[in-house]
Amino acid sequence: MKKLLRILSILSLVGILALCVFSWFSGDDLCYRNELARYSVLDKAWLQYMYWDGRSTGLASLIQLAGLKYFPAAAITLIWAFSFICMSVMILKIIKLESHSGEEKNISLVETALLSAMLWVGMWKLIPDIIYWPTGGWYCMMGLLALTWIYQFLKGINTKRFTARKNLFIFLISLLCANNSHNVIIPLIFLALIEGVKAIVINQDRKVLSYVLSALAGLAISTIFVLFAPGNFERLKAISWQGFNLSLINYCLIVFAKYCYWLLALFLLFPVFAWLNGLSLGQTLNNFFPGSLKEIVKNKKSLIASLYNHKFLVAAFSTVFVFSATSFFAVPRTAIFFAMFIVIYVVQKSSINFQPARSKKFVTGSVIFLSFFIGIVIFEMVKVNALQNVLESREAKYRLNQRADVTVDAIPESNVPFAFTFVDISADSGNWVNRCVASNSNIKTVRTVLK
């Protein structure tokens, strides 16, 4: 049975990557490609920084733009799918590092597959945007960068040796990783602060101060660069933003409610894996309660200790703070950062273990779960292959009608697999998607007609 579990683990990871073969360019992808035909990657990144988005000069953005300019859709989404799997590896490494098990370097194939499949199924509403969409998949890369920073920072804290070389390293990696999404910057700063405060106030270890300050300096520089980009303010003007007001708490609550809805499947999978690990519901829930409020706030040390013990939960909640200005920008893909902190917190606190245990129930349950996951992947492959054939026939029609007005049959939404983002053209040839398709295919106009 364990051999079968290993085979299914390989097939699951291959399945996540193999779906990339069926990805294609549409909507925003084509608009970006049209613009990148006129600009270099660096020029386009800077234009976006100045007129649309403060994240545009970060590593993830540069990879996104380079991919859209030079690579086919399958190659770009393969990068995002690999980043997604690496996120699972980094989550496991962080959990093991925090448990001081000393096993963070030995992440098994089965562990990686189980967590990757759990995240894929649990975040099924996000998957179309964060893996198989050439433009939006960079969120996986941003998540991976954030997790890499957390692992390196915590690893440095745990060594308790703070040399000038190590301080410089964490400063540089903080610069690199914090040039990231707006709603992952605040959690990184919080984690650096709580680790430093806990070490100094509770552990009475001031040697860590230089290391934490080096990290915070790098984070602060990148944060200022991202948050105060001229493009952010231009973007807010585009939605007629009226400034901060008393609705900011409401906006955060709205986003939190959206995240819980989009990640409902993930929350339902937690008790399943806890049960497979032989953990009772009561035993699991007891680890999550921080204690009475009176005990938490009775003194400074107890408050710091409570925040430290639940730091990844606080980090998850802090990802919604950026939406205190407006909940308009909260779309499913933005929930990826909330999800990754929640996963770390829940798995850590509930003692869920993804390693093949001696328990026959765990192995059998894992085999069933991965078989179910592989079934979903195969179903999506069959469905997307049929859609891709339709899209290829469209492309052939475009090539035969260069510089002409073209009409194509509309594609029903029911024909689009849930794992893929597809922004189709409409019956209005002046629609922005239609114009991007027409420009990219060298035709005059394009629109859909009902069969």
DSSP 26: -
d(CA 326, CA 241): 8
Q: Quick one: pLDDT at residue 52? A: 87
pLDDT tens digits for range 285-307 = 666 666 655 556 567 778 888 88
pLDDT at 382 over 60: yes
pLDDT at 358 over 70: no
- Under 8 Å between Cβ of 187 and 319: yes
pLDDT band at 250 (very low <50, low <70, confident <90, very high): confident
DSSP H helices, 52-72, are 59-70
pLDDT tens digits for range 212-242 = 999 999 999 999 999 899 988 777 776 655 5
Mean pLDDT of 153-163: 89
pLDDT at 261 over 80: yes
Q: Is 211 helix (H, G, I), strand (E, B) or coil?
A: helix
**Beta strand 445-449 with 405-409: parallel, antiparallel or unpaired?**
parallel
- Least-confidence region, from 20-29, 104-113, 184-193: 104-113
Site of tokens 């992440």:
107
pLDDT at 415 over 70: yes
Q: Quick one: pLDDT at residue 289? A: 64
Helices 164-178 and 209-227, axial angle in degrees (round to 10):
20
Site of tokens 């194939």:
109
- Among 15, 42, 190, 187, smallest CA distance to 116 is for 15
Please name the helix (run of DSSP H) or strand (run of DSSP E) that holds residue 360, with its range, or none.
helix 360-400
pLDDT mean across residues, the chain: 89
d(CA 252, CA 318): 10
d(CA 294, CA 314): 19
pLDDT band at 328 (very low <50, low <70, confident <90, very high): low
DSSP H helices, 179-310, are 182-197, 209-227, 230-238, 248-262, 264-276, 281-286, 293-296, 300-309
DSSP 325: S
DSSP H helices, 99-181, are 109-122, 127-130, 138-159, 164-178
pLDDT tens digits for range 137-155 = 999 999 999 999 999 999 9
Please name the helix (run of DSSP H) or strand (run of DSSP E) that holds residue 406, with its range, or none.
strand 405-409
Mean pLDDT of 431-447: 92
First to last CA, the chain: 50
Taking the CA atoms of residue 319, residue 54, residue 167 and residue 151 in that order, the dihedral angle to the nearest 10 degrees is 40
pLDDT tens digits for range 383-401 = 999 999 999 999 999 999 9
Q: Is 410 helix (H, G, I), strand (E, B) or coil?
A: coil
Q: Quick one: pLDDT at residue 248? A: 74
